[in-house]
């Protein structure tokens, strides 16, 4: 599940880089597109924030999955030890 968030973060980051690069392109090369540089910078900033948030969610999801896996393993090991101790 966390892999999906990492892919989403990479996609947002890629589009943030493209939007940031659009501020450097002169307006004559952008027919039909917004030529305002501050608009591209704002879009790049929002996409970057979305990428960072998505990466954070991916990391937290990965951590919680790991904790859940380890607690399940501990529970199974404890159950197995109790079963072995009951057998005379």
Model confidence over 14-63: pLDDT tens digits?
999 999 998 888 777 767 776 677 888 999 999 999 999 999 999 999 99
The set of residues, in sequence order, having a beta carbon less than 8 Å from that of 34 and lying 6+ positions away, is 40
Alpha-carbon span 41 to 18, nearest angstrom: 10
pTM above threshold 0.85: no
Alpha helices of the chain — where are they, by DSSP H? 2-22, 37-86
**Predicted confidence band of residue 73 (pLDDT cuts 50, 70, 90):** confident
The closest alpha carbon to 37, from 48, 47, 45, 26, belongs to: 26
Alpha-carbon span 19 to 41, nearest angstrom: 7
């Amino acid at each position: 599940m966390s892999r999906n968030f990492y892919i989403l973060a990479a996609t947002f980051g890629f589009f943030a880089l493209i939007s940031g690069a659009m501020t450097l392109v002169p307006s004559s090369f952008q027919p039909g597109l917004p030529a305002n540089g501050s608009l591209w910078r704002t879009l790049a900033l929002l996409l970057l924030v979305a990428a960072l948030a998505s990466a954070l969610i991916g990391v937290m999801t990965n951590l919680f999955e790991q904790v859940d896996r380890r607690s399940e393993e501990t529970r199974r090991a404890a159950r197995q030890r109790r079963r072995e101790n009951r057998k005379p």
